[in-house]
Amino acid sequence: MREITQTVCCNDVRFVVGRNALEVLRELTGKIAVFHPLWLDPTPIRKVLPEAEYFPVEDGERLKDANNVLVLAKELFERGYDRGDTIIAVGGGSVTDTVGFLASIYLRGIRLVNVPTTLLGMVDAAIGGKTGVNFAGIKNVLGTFYQPNIIIAELSFLDTLPQQELRNGLSEVIKYSIVLDSALYNILMGSKDEIMRKDDEALEEVIIRSASNKLDVVAQDERETKGIRIVLNFGHTVGHAIESATDFKVHHGLAISVGMTCESKFAEELGYAEEGLVEDTLSLLTLYELPVNPDQLDPRPDPYKALKALEKDKKRRSDVLLVPVPRRIGAWTKAEIPVETFKGLTEQCLR
């Protein structure tokens, strides 16, 4: 078992990864509410927290409806939860996003522990304090910044995770390696077999490195106001445009895989990146069988719809997009790219 602690603004955030990492839950005191997906057997958690109350919920985007938050808040209130108690969110990003939002508004904030069960959750969604639910058909339109006290990446949950969901999470791991961590890049290049067969030691290493990269960035710029947290958006400008152009039928991890390929090309073409970056990006993504061009996506995104989505990107400032661009593996910089230039490059990349 390995762990790190990072101070983010006014809280210590503790991240623990390993097989049997759930043991850490024994340290909790007070009343404990465990929210978990209906399909997930909570027995491993019950073993360490026999006194807790268990609330099964649907997961996926169905759960992320703002109305569900009020239903869950009512349950907590009726059962007498107060600010000294703890909420545990067990599940993928859909559960940690929704239950995190609930924890942040219930009595103006109740202690939160995230127990991600997908690789994407362990390396990204459960870390960093962004919570969000969908409202009026708009994804993540209601949300807060609210740091969990503890994040527990229990490796045994990954035993049942399908390979495709593993790849979706690896796409974010690859993102950290390209813009922030050349050592992680080398580890990924050298350990594909171990990672894909879910070897504990290999997963522990890539998960803790990813968490540490994300927590470092979040500690410097929790609320994305200092131009540092934007680095986490590498691949996401084109990636979101792809998701939007396919009505979110292409999974986030696959969309940002093509997004990272395109944005590496832009970085080289516009002179931000050293020669070789695109080749290095392609080598790693293809090694993990992630898509690097739009023909590999199902459905194939319509470039025209993707360009329309770019115009509405939240990183847009008047006529420019403020985006992170890699300089070489493990290093990045901020770039202000005119929207028209970005659209032209995206069209070329998605055509």
Active site residue 251: no
Active site residue 252: yes
37 binds ligand NAD (CB under 6 A): yes
- Distance, in Å, from the CA atom of 297 to the CA atom of 242, rounded to the nearest integer, reads 9
Shortest Cβ distance from residue 257 to ligand NAD (Å)?
A: 14
Shortest Cβ distance from residue 286 to ligand NAD (Å)?
A: 22
Active site residue 75: no
3-state SS class at 13: strand
Active site residue 139: no
Q: Which is nearer to ligand NAD, 31 or 240 (CB)?
A: 240
Beta-carbon contacts of 100 under 8 Å, excluding residues fewer than 6 positions away, are 89, 112, 114, 129, 131, 144, 146, 148
Q: Which is nearer to ligand NAD, 14 or 328 (CB)?
A: 14
329 binds ligand NAD (CB under 6 A): no
List the catalytic residue out of 53, 224, 274, 347: 224
If you count them, how many residues does the chain have? 351
128 binds ligand NAD (CB under 6 A): yes
3-state SS class at 278: helix
3-state SS class at 307: helix
Q: Cα 93 to the chain's mean position, in Å?
A: 7
Shortest Cβ distance from residue 68 to ligand NAD (Å)?
A: 13
Instruction: Find out whether 300 and 294 touch, Cβ atoms under 8 Å.
Output: yes
H-helix or E-strand spanning residue 227: none
Q: Which is nearer to ligand NAD, 39 or 304 (CB)?
A: 39
Residue 43-82 contact track with ligand NAD, rule CB under 6 A, x = bound: ----------------xx---x------------------
Active site residue 214: yes
- Distance, in Å, from the CA atom of 5 to the CA atom of 15, rounded to the nearest integer, reads 6
List the catalytic residue out of 233, 251, 263, 265: 233
Active site residue 58: no
259 binds ligand NAD (CB under 6 A): no
Residue choice 117, 212, 237, 246 for contact with ligand NAD (CB under 6 A): 117
Active site residue 229: yes
Instruction: Find out whether 301 and 245 touch, Cβ atoms under 8 Å.
Output: yes
Pairing of strands 150-154, 11-18: parallel
3-state SS class at 191: coil
- Distance, in Å, from the CA atom of 60 to the CA atom of 134, rounded to the nearest integer, reads 12
The distance between the two most distant Cα atoms of the chain, rounded to a whole number of Å, is 61
- Distance, in Å, from the CA atom of 243 to the CA atom of 250, rounded to the nearest integer, reads 6
Site for ligand NAD in 79-108 (CB under 6 A): 91-95, 97
Q: Which is nearer to ligand NAD, 125 or 290 (CB)?
A: 125
Instruction: Find out whether 202 and 155 touch, Cβ atoms under 8 Å.
Output: no
Residue choice 85, 124, 181, 280 for contact with ligand NAD (CB under 6 A): 124
Active site residue 68: no
Shortest Cβ distance from residue 96 to ligand NAD (Å)?
A: 7
243 binds ligand NAD (CB under 6 A): no
**Options 47-55, 103-111, 157-165, 254-262: segment touching ligand NAD (CB under 6 A):** 157-165
Classify residue 293 by burial, with Cβ atoms within 10 Å: 0-12, 13-18, 19+.
Answer: middle
List the catalytic residue out of 36, 64, 130, 167: 130
Query: Applying CB under 6 A, which residues contact ligand NAD?
Result: 37, 59-60, 64, 91-95, 97, 117-118, 120-121, 124-125, 128, 130, 140, 157, 160-161, 165, 168
Residues marked active site are found at: 108, 130, 172, 214, 224, 229, 233, 236, 240, 252
